[in-house]
Each structure stands twice: as structure tokens, then as C-alpha cells.
Amino acid sequence: MSQPVRVNVRLPTLLLWSGSASKVFAEAENGAFTLLPKHTDFVTALVPSVLVITDEQGQEQYFGIDQGVLVKQGYDVDIAVRRGVQGSDLATLHETIEHTFTEVDEDERVARTALSKLEAGIVRRFSDLRKPLI
């Protein structure tokens, strides 16, 4: 058996998963692929999909991911994604993705609304500065 790859799955704020793997299944813009330890080095953009990492014991780790980037260099694989969740199996992963991503989308909507109100307030204050003083 060949040397396993060291895989890191990273979110913007934390390391979601790290470990050794015998293969990585992912989906890029041009299709799905399986990455093995002696695969050539490359970089690819990932699309929202299910990422499957098979560890050295043959156990599959499932991740629901948003868009991201996969970099393979030597025996190191770094995967950086905007959003991602780990599930124990495919059945529960769907529910976890739906719950987590819906919650994040709602938080983003609230943040965009607050930012829009802040921008509107700044524009109003600048327009008040342009009014002549009496």
C-alpha cells in the first residue's frame, strides 16, 4: 500500500477536518474525480457538492461543501471551502446541510439588511452636509 495523503479541510474560521486518507472524492467545475496518493499535483475549483474522504482504515468521512479550492502537492491535500459541514452518513448529511446552510443564509440576509441601512444612513448624512446653512 502506498503512503496516504494528509488532508486538511478548512473553513474561513476553523479547521473542519484533518487526517490521513487513502483517497478523496470531490467534484470540480469540469466533473467529479477521485484523488489517490500518487495522483499528479494540481489545483482545482470545487463546486457545491459532497466531499468523501476515505481514511486509512477504509472509513468514509462525508462533508457537505460550498464552493472552494482543492490543492494537491506531493502527499498534502488542502481543501479550503467557504461553508462546510461534516456528517456521519449520507442520510443525515442532507439534513445537516439543509439546517446549517439555511441558518447561515438567514444570518447573511440579516447582515446585508443591516449593511444596507448603514449605507443609506451615511448617504443621508452626506446629503445633509451639502445643504446650505441658514
CATH of the domain at 55: 2.60.15.10
Domain-embedded: residue 103: no
Do 38 and 72 meet the contact criterion of CB atoms below 8 Å apart?
A: no
Q: What is the number of structural domains in the chain?
A: 1
Domain-embedded: residue 12: yes
Domain-embedded: residue 81: yes
Q: Which amino acid is at 54?
A: T
User: If you search the block for the grid coordinates 442520510, which residue do you land on?
Assistant: 91
18 is in which domain, residue-wise? Answer: 5-87
Domain-embedded: residue 44: yes
Torsion of CA 45, 22, 13, 110, to 10 degrees: 60
Domain-embedded: residue 131: no
28 DSSP assignment: E
User: Which residues, 6 or more positions from 99, have their beta carbon under 8 angstroms from its beta carbon?
Assistant: none
Q: Mark out the alpha helices in 1-134 (DSSP H runs).
A: 90-130
Domain-embedded: residue 61: yes
Domain-embedded: residue 27: yes
pLDDT of residue 36: 94
Domain-embedded: residue 37: yes
Buried b (16+ CB within 10 A) or exposed e, 108-134: eeeeeeeeeeeeeeeeeeeeeeeeeee
Q: Which amino acid is at 99?
A: H
Q: Which residues of the chain have pLDDT under 50?
A: none
The pTM assigned to this predicted structure is 0.72
pLDDT of residue 128: 75
